[in-house]
Amino acid sequence: MKMRYLLIGSLLSFSSLAFDKQPDDKKLIDKLAKLLEEKGAFKSISNAELDGFKMESAFYNALGKGLKPSKTTTHSLFISNQKTMNVSLSVDDNKENSNGVSIYQKNTGQSYVSVSDSDGDGVLDFITYSILDKDGKLLSSVEDFGMDGQIDFKIDFVKKTAWVFWENEWRESVREEGGAFIQFGDKKIAISDALKILGRYSR
């Protein structure tokens, strides 16, 4: 379960949880694990132990739009130890896809930090990190597209608010029929479109 907990955590999108009530962790993991099995996302899983560290290797197809498995296979290596945080390293078989490293909270498997090379050029260009309580509850998260030092997107899961740094100002998300938007002047734009323009979905 630890392998699948970490793997599933790496597939989740913070923005998809921005305005929804956070579900119970175990129920969420069980539900997603079943979904991944049904979709045939897992290809193979193997493990080994070395001087107190457990290493688990998995080949899988990440779920994309419409929860359909991607056409390319990702290889992830997870390293865990009961005394410290856990780490994962992922490589996609398409060198133009995102490859990266993630750090997870001890015992809970919740993601603290993820950095990635979105286009396979060897340069890290995306980072997201979270604030968690000791039980692994997600309190807030931020994302920096391009890793230029300017946070582009942040979510407060306690207050259930999201912000986008747009045209040199922080714009708070407004939930309306049809989705979430940010307002600037007499104009508005869907958060998904704003993040796409900022570069999120190219990573």
Helices (H), ranges, the chain: 2-11, 25-38, 191-198
Question: What values do phi and psi take at 158, rounded to 5?
Answer: -75, -50
For the whole model, what pTM was predicted?
0.74
Q: Is the pLDDT of residue 54 over 70?
A: yes
Question: Which token pair is 95?
Answer: 């060198």
pLDDT in tens, 95-138: 766 789 999 998 888 889 999 988 778 889 999 999 999 998 99
The domain segmentation of the chain, as residue ranges, is 2-202
Query: CA-CA distance, 18 to 114, in Å (whole number)?
Result: 18
Q: How confident is the model at residue 25 (pLDDT cuts 50, 70, 90)?
A: low
Identify the DSSP state of 68.
P
Residue 35 pLDDT: 67
Comparing 11-15, 47-51, 186-190, the range with the smallest average pLDDT is 11-15
pLDDT of residue 144: 95
pLDDT of residue 21: 40
Give the pLDDT score at 39.
66
Average pLDDT, the chain: 80
Q: Which two tokens stand for residue 153?
A: 């997107």
Backbone angles phi, psi at 52, to 5 degrees: 95, -10
Mean pLDDT, residues 22-33: 56
Residue in the structure block whose two tokens are 């993630």: 102
Task: Give the pair of three-digit tokens for residue 195.
Answer: 């993040």
Model confidence at 164: pLDDT above 70:
yes
**Pick from 6-15, 109-118, 156-165: least confident:** 6-15
> Which is more confident, 79 or 21?
79
pLDDT reported for residue 186: 86
At residue 44, the pLDDT reads 77
Based on C-alpha coordinates, what's the Rg of the chain? 17
pLDDT digits (tens, 9 = 90+) for 172-198: 999 888 789 998 888 899 998 999 899
Strands (E), the chain: 42-50, 53-60, 74-80, 86-92, 99-104, 111-117, 126-132, 138-145, 153-156, 161-166, 169-176, 179-184, 187-190
